[in-house]
């Protein structure tokens, strides 16, 4: 067997990966009988074989010894909040420098005696870290650790020296990193394991030995404690909303830090649902949107609230009914109905698509420069289906691309109001039609406009959405629904 000197800067857990381990069960923490302290002693101390022990492992950068320390793992366990779940799947991300250390060390071993170190199967450092984490966490968390849970926790370790240590890869294969070198420092993407694999595959051994430090030197500090991110499929709670105020936008609206309007539809619905599901955040999805000064009447606009990473996995219809009652009682501007859990992602996709595919009904008082005769009104009402061309309105050009869109007006009905020059217009249109511009023409950018059809100047006074033609929400036949 080769001298233990080749493993002088390698922790015992990593030595085991290279020398003794033949199966994953060899990494049982109790069987290894290791602690953080006796795995990572100070420089100059000797192990039982009189070999020097590193302060920080040159391969795993101190991650494996830390996972063998119950106090460290107990601290990691506190990062996991109490999800309403019976199972949990663990994922890990190690510093890219660990993958570089591993490949460099294997190249170094190929020059040592006996040479079978270079070909002997090695237990992957990432697999080992994941196995140790799972074994140590299992008795500390209230979840069964599985490989197929809908709840996933990803632990990410970082090291301050990763960028500097991996810089040599750009020297070895500059073309592979051309875009990265040209990017501004803050926009540079991180070097990942696949980059390291690609560089080693494309570079001959002689060049690798010339540029790489063999064996890889131990870092002066261990990797940082991991950060954890949780993933759980979003939950969707849907219904319909009415908006009765002309100063409430659909979503929070700020210009130069100043709020426009009072609250928003999204905030009124979002906050109680966040409290119910303990979600990280919520996003409003709706079948189109109305301007801040437009009311949503009739049966209301279909919507779904996407609840991201909900801690609470189960809600009851009774809970949703209570929230609906509370929302409607708290303020008069936004009212909701038919609140229910949406369990089909296909239904949510259909809701998103409906914004551009469904018919919508509107009602709006308008002003006309001419006094219209009964005959003119009757002629207008008999127009039937009208196709118009709309350029992107001037008022939204700052946030929408310039385009010329055909839109269909399916029906038009005009009736006189008591005040001269004022009329009530009722219309059914294709989704995506700009109603205000259809009335006044938007400086000729919408053709024909209501003014063109009536052969006079026309302008809109107010606008109400009366109906959105979409069957929503889908009905669920259960009283308790799991996300």
Summarised one tens digit per residue, pLDDT across range 118-138 is: 566 788 899 999 999 999 999
Active site residues: 291
Beta strands 359-368 and 463-468, pairing class = antiparallel
Over residues 301-307, the mean pLDDT reads 96
Residue-wise pLDDT for 414-440, tens only, equals 999 999 999 999 999 998 899 999 999
Residues 6+ apart with CB under 8 A from 234: 306, 307, 308, 309, 310
Tell me the two tokens of residue 217.
């030197």
Please state, in angstroms and rounded to a whole number, the distance separating the CA atoms of residues 217 and 324.
Answer: 62
- The answer, yes or no, to whether residue 50 has pLDDT greater than 60, is no
Whether the Cβ atoms of residue 449 and residue 368 lie closer than 8 Å to each other: no
Q: In the block, which residue shows the tokens 């590193």?
A: 54
- The answer, yes or no, to whether residue 30 has pLDDT greater than 50, is yes
Distance of CA 78 to the CA centre of its chain: 24
- The answer, yes or no, to whether residue 35 has pLDDT greater than 50, is no
Q: Which residues are registered as beta bridge partners of 335?
A: 242
User: pTM for this one?
Assistant: 0.73
Beta strands 314-316 and 480-482, pairing class = antiparallel
Q: What percent of the chain has pLDDT over 90?
A: 61
Please state, in angstroms and rounded to a whole number, the distance separating the CA atoms of residues 93 and 82.
Answer: 23
Cβ burial, residue 327 (10 Å; 0-12/13-18/19+): buried
- Find the range with the poorest average confidence among 58-62, 118-122, 292-296, 437-441: 118-122
Count how many residues are written for the chain. 483
| Residue 337: φ, ψ to 5° | -145, 160
Over residues 6-33, the mean pLDDT reads 70
- The answer, yes or no, to whether residue 358 has pLDDT greater than 90, is no
Other C-beta atoms closer than 10 Å to the C-beta of 239 total 22
Please state, in angstroms and rounded to a whole number, the distance separating the CA atoms of residues 470 and 355.
Answer: 10
What is the pLDDT, as a whole number, of residue 42? 35
Max CA-CA distance within the chain? 108
Please state, in angstroms and rounded to a whole number, the distance separating the CA atoms of residues 220 and 5.
Answer: 20
- The answer, yes or no, to whether residue 6 has pLDDT greater than 90, is no
- The answer, yes or no, to whether residue 2 has pLDDT greater than 80, is no
- The answer, yes or no, to whether residue 180 has pLDDT greater than 70, is no
Cβ burial, residue 408 (10 Å; 0-12/13-18/19+): middle
Whether the Cβ atoms of residue 334 and residue 241 lie closer than 8 Å to each other: yes
> Which is higher by pLDDT, 3 or 119?
119
Tell me the two tokens of residue 215.
């064996």
- Find the range with the poorest average confidence among 27-41, 95-109, 124-138: 27-41
Residues 6+ apart with CB under 8 A from 159: 61, 95, 97, 98, 219, 221, 223, 224
What is the pLDDT, as a whole number, of residue 342? 94
Cβ burial, residue 305 (10 Å; 0-12/13-18/19+): buried
Tell me the two tokens of residue 1.
């067997």
């Amino acid at each position: 067997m080769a001298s233990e000197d080749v493993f002088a800067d390698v922790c015992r857990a990593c030595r085991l990966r290279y020398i003794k381990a033949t199966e994953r069960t060899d990494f049982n923490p109790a069987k290894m009988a290791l602690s953080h302290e006796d795995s990572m002693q100070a420089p100059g101390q000797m192990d039982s074989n009189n070999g020097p022990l590193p302060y920080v492992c040159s391969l795993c950068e101190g991650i494996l010894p830390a996972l063998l320390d119950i106090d460290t793992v107990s601290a990691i366990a506190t990062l996991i909040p109490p999800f309403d779940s019976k199972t949990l799947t663990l994922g890990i991300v190690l510093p890219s420098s660990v993958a570089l250390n591993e490949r460099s060390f294997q190249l170094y071993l190929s020059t040592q005696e006996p040479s079978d170190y270079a070909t002997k199967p090695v237990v992957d450092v990432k697999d080992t870290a994941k196995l140790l984490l799972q074994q140590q966490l299992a008795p500390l968390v209230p979840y069964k650790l599985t490989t197929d849970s809908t709840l996933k926790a990803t632990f990410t370790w970082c090291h301050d020296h990763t960028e500097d240590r991996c810089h040599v890869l750009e020297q070895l294969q500059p073309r592979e990193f051309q875009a990265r070198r040209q990017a501004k420092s803050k926009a540079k993407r991180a070097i990942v394991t696949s980059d390291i694999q690609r560089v080693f595959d494309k570079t001959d051994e002689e060049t690798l030995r010339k540029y790489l430090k063999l064996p890889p030197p131990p870092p002066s500090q261990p990797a940082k404690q991991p950060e954890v991110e949780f993933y759980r499929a979003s939950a969707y709670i849907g219904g319909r909303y009415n908006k009765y105020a002309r100063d409430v936008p659909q979503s929070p609206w700020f210009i130069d830090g100043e709020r426009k309007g009072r609250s928003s539809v999204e905030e009124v619905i979002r906050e109680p649902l966040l409290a119910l599901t303990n979600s990280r955040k919520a996003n409003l999805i709706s079948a189109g949107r109305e301007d801040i000064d437009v009311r949503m009447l009739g049966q209301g606009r279909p919507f779904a609230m996407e609840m991201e990473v909900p801690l609470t996995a189960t809600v009851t219809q009774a809970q949703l009914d209570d929230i609906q009652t509370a929302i409607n009682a708290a303020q008069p501007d936004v009212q909701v109905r038919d609140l229910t859990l949406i369990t089909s992602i296909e239904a949510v996709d259909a809701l998103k698509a409906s914004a551009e595919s469904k018919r919508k009904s509107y009602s709006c008082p308008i002003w006309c420069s001419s006094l219209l005769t009964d005959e003119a009104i009757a002629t207008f009402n008999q127009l039937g289906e009208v196709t118009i061309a709309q350029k992107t309105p001037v008022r939204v050009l700052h946030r929408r691309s310039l385009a010329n869109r055909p839109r269909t007006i399916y029906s038009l009905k005009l009736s006189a109001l008591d005040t001269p020059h004022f009329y009530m217009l009722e219309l059914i249109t294709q989704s995506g039609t700009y109603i205000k511009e259809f009335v006044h023409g938007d400086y000729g950018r919408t053709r024909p406009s209501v003014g063109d059809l009536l052969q006079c100047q026309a302008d809109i006074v107010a606008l109400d959405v009366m109906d959105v033609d979409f069957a929503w929400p889908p009905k669920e036949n259960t009283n308790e629904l799991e996300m």
